């Protein structure tokens, strides 16, 4: 049986292009499971329905994932890893075009909203379910904490760079506090986008962007 740890640090493993047949099968199953979760929800998902969506046999799914809980955990890890990788890749490209850190930060906010609303809507919906499940499952909560820390450290790095190039007017001692506040705003935006009508999303993005710039005392 393949190790579930495969889904940790997934982007680097996918980029290597050196996947075993077992790992390819696991990805195939997880991608099928995500389709099922989005259509009918996690509670109603069965091995049979996931087998149909992923085009493999039920016994094969049970070989790689003896419990449905393992499929859920792998699906959440997969979604988080892919979305994080997309954001990182996008920001790496944008950093070459932006004139200063303020402009880069605006791109940072924009790509988060674009990810919430236009890209991978199925991922966003399952991600919302993940927030619910991580509240009652210690393993999923620990996994979520890892990604929260990654986002927090990325924000801190952006803010510190903005202080250095005078894009932001806060002191270095305020970096951690402001980074946490912005992270909470973006988390709230994710929840709001999942429940708001589309017409309100642009207004929400505008307000959150303005609030973030105020927190940063952007010049």
DSSP class per residue in the chain = ---GGGGTTHHHHHHHT---HHHHHHHHHHHHHHHHHHHH-TTT--HHHHHHHHTS-HHHHHHH-SSHHHHHHHHHHHHHHHHHHHHHHHHHHHTTT-SSHHHHHHHHHHHHHHHHHTS-HHHHHHHHHHHHHHTT-HHHHHHHHHHHHHHHHHHHHHHHHHHHTTSB-S-GGGHHHHHHHHHHHHHHHHHHHHHS-HHHHHHHHHHHHHHHHHHHTB-
* % of the chain exceeding 70 in pLDDT: 85
Gyration radius (Cα) of the chain, Å: 19
Taking every pair of Cα atoms in the chain, the longest distance, rounded to a whole number of angstroms, is 60
Q: Where in the chain is the domain with CATH 1.10.10.60?
A: 1-74
Using 50, 70 and 90 to split pLDDT, how confident is the model at 173?
very high
Average pLDDT of the residues of the chain: 83
Looking at the chain, the domain(s) classified CATH 1.10.357.10 span 95-219
Report the pLDDT value the prediction gives residue 32, as an integer from 0 to 100.
Answer: 92
Task: Please state which architecture CATH assigns to domain 95-219.
Answer: Orthogonal Bundle (1.10)
Tell me phi and psi for residue 57, to 5 degrees: -80, 155
Query: For residue 1, is pLDDT > 50?
Result: no
- At residue 98, the pLDDT reads 82
Say how far apart CA 40 and CA 122 lie, in whole Å: 12
Helix axes 175-195, 101-117, angle to 10 degrees: 30
CB-based contact 155:182 (threshold 8 Å): yes
In the numeric block, which tokens belong to residue 158? 């952006």
Q: In the structure, what pLDDT confidence band is assigned to residue 51 with cuts at 50, 70 and 90?
A: very high
Contact status, residue 37 vs residue 45, Cβ threshold 8 Å:
yes
CATH number belonging to the domain at 1-74, selected among 3.40.50.1440, 1.10.10.60, 3.40.190.10, 3.40.1390.20: 1.10.10.60
Question: Are the CB atoms for 83 and 11 separated by under 8 Å?
Answer: no
């Amino acid at each position: 049986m393949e190790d579930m740890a495969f889904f940790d640090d997934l982007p680097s493993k996918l980029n290597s292009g050196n996947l075993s047949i077992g790992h390819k099968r696991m990805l195939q199953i997880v991608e099928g499971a995500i389709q099922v979760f989005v259509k009918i929800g996690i509670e109603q998902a069965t091995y049979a329905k996931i087998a149909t969506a992923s085009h493999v046999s039920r016994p094969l799914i049970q070989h790689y994932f003896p419990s449905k809980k393992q499929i859920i955990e792998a699906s959440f890890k997969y979604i988080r890893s892919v979305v994080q990788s997309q954001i990182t890749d996008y920001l790496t490209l944008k950093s070459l075009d932006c004139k200063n850190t303020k402009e880069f930060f605006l791109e940072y906010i924009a790509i988060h909203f674009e990810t919430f609303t236009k890209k991978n809507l199925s991922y966003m919906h399952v991600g919302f379910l993940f927030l619910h499940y991580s509240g009652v499952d210690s393993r999923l909560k620990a996994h979520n904490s890892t990604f929260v820390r990654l986002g927090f450290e990325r924000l801190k790095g952006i803010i510190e760079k903005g202080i250095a190039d005078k894009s932001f007017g806060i002191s270095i001692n305020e970096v951690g506090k402001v980074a946490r506040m912005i992270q909470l705003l973006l988390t709230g935006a994710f929840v709001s986008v999942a429940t708001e009508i589309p017409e309100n999303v642009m207004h929400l993005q505008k307000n959150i962007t303005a609030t973030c710039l105020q927190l940063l005392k952007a010049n």
